[in-house]
Amino acid sequence: MRRCLLPLLVLAACADPVDKAAKARIFSPEDPPQAVSSAKEKLPPTEVADNPKIARRVLGMGAAEATERLGPHRYSATLDLEWTANGKNVRLNETRLLEAGQGGVSGDFHALQENSRDQGLEVLRVKGQVFARSRYGKFRLRSRDRGMAERIREETFGAIPDFDQLFRGRIKLTAQGTGSLEGRVTWKYVVSLADASPDAPSRLPPPQLAKNGGDETTLRRLAFQELRQPRTLQGEVQVDADTSVVVRARLDGRLVVQRPDVGPAELRLTLDSKVSDIGKSPALVAPKDALPDQDKPQGIAAALERFGIQKAVRDGGTGPDEPSDDAE
């Protein structure tokens, strides 16, 4: 009797639809990266000015999707920021460079960010290996920083999405016919400031501050995030006719922040970006003098040792003698 029941139980288990669905899910091919799927979506550049959804997709396109659409290319951008408040003026110039090689989203690339205050970051991915360094440092292999290279690539390419976010998505594009850039047909658009739209209700809880209130730096940042109001915006954008990627952009905008307790502040921001060398793969090679990967770089301890200050050796000391077994 038991010999008859065993095959029936096995057949019943194999016929379980839940089990079949689980096996199909486990052994199914892995889904491609989101950027690959997004790059297959048609975004007619002729509809950018009339279709807000397409305009948002084109202006918000990231580095991974742009690389899938364009192939190898070179992206460069210059941003100038001028902050005026309380009679003081602060300026900052920032340059960004991204060189993308063959292989699409998984290919090699070189990303560089620098500013006028001697700050900078450089990331290089070659044959799956990632190297990174600060502006004046040495390259170091970064085997365990998963996702770091991809994040820096997106930040480097994301000047236009950053600009659009600062101006609350109010970039308005007006078609101005066709043009050309490095022999490629482009659609040209004039940039202006769109009318403000009602704020969408937020599902996020309000920010939590300390019992005595936030520190001044935090309060300034929150005020800028919540109170900034775009005042002017102008410029020009060129969208590649074949790939719907923004290949040229010149933007100039001004926004203000009104705080009753400290007075008004103003930010002027300009952007000049360009995509060039489309289809030309850069010669990217791993740095020869790169430092090896390590759990924790020496940092301050190594700097002190270079000046002859050695790390002190801790002495555990000696504790009190243990009582003798013969002691009464």
Q: Is the pLDDT of residue 4 over 60?
A: no
Q: Is the pLDDT of residue 44 over 70?
A: yes
Centroid of chain to Cα 250:
21
User: What's the whole-number mean pLDDT along residues 257-261?
Assistant: 84
User: What's the whole-number mean pLDDT along residues 281-302?
Assistant: 83
Residue 80 in any domain: the answer is yes
Q: Would you state the pLDDT for residue 325?
A: 54
Greater pLDDT, 313 or 127: 127
Residue 161 in any domain: the answer is yes
Greater pLDDT, 198 or 141: 141
Residue 10 in any domain: the answer is no
- CA dihedral for 209, 212, 218, 220, sign (positive or negative): positive
- Tell whether pTM > 0.85: no
Residue 245 in any domain: the answer is yes
- Using a pLDDT cut of 70, give the percent of the chain over it: 84
CA distances from 7 to 1, 3, 16, 20, 264 (A): 11, 7, 15, 18, 81
3-state secondary structure of 124: strand
Task: Kindly indicate the confidence band of residue 19, based on its pLDDT and cuts at 50, 70 and 90.
Answer: confident
The least confident of 5-9, 121-125, 148-152, 224-228 is 5-9
Backbone angles phi, psi at 50, to 5 degrees: -105, -15
**Burial (CB count <10 Å: 0-12, 13-18, 19+), residue 265:** buried
Q: Which of 69, 274, 33 is nearest to 147 (CA)?
A: 33
Write the CATH number for 261. 2.50.20
Please name the helix (run of DSSP H) or strand (run of DSSP E) that holds residue 62, with its range, or none: none
Summarised one tens digit per residue, pLDDT across range 205-257 is 877 777 777 788 888 888 888 899 999 999 999 999 999 999 999 999 999 99
Q: Would you state the pLDDT for residue 207?
A: 75
Task: Kindly indicate the confidence band of residue 7, based on its pLDDT and cuts at 50, 70 and 90.
Answer: low
User: What's the whole-number mean pLDDT along residues 272-282?
Assistant: 97
Residue 326 in any domain: the answer is no
Residue 183 in any domain: the answer is yes
Q: Is the pLDDT of residue 15 over 90?
A: no
Q: Is the pLDDT of residue 319 over 90?
A: no
Summarised one tens digit per residue, pLDDT across range 172-194 is 999 999 999 999 999 999 999 99
Centroid of chain to Cα 38:
17
Task: Kindly indicate the confidence band of residue 298, based on its pLDDT and cuts at 50, 70 and 90.
Answer: low
Whether the CB-CB separation of 96 and 77 falls below 8 Å is answered with: yes
Residue 307 in any domain: the answer is no
Domain of residue 263, residue span = 44-196+219-295
Highest mean pLDDT among 13-27, 141-155, 243-257: 243-257
The structure tokens 């970051």 sit at 121
Please name the helix (run of DSSP H) or strand (run of DSSP E) that holds residue 49, with its range, or none: none
Task: Kindly indicate the confidence band of residue 160, based on its pLDDT and cuts at 50, 70 and 90.
Answer: very high
Q: What is the radius of gyration, based on Cα positions, of the chain?
A: 28
Residue 321 in any domain: the answer is no
Task: Kindly indicate the confidence band of residue 328, based on its pLDDT and cuts at 50, 70 and 90.
Answer: very low
- Reading the block at residue 266, the tokens are 């103003």
Structural domain count of the chain: 1
- Using a pLDDT cut of 90, give the percent of the chain over it: 62
CA-based max dimension of the chain: 104
The structure tokens 């005020």 sit at 223
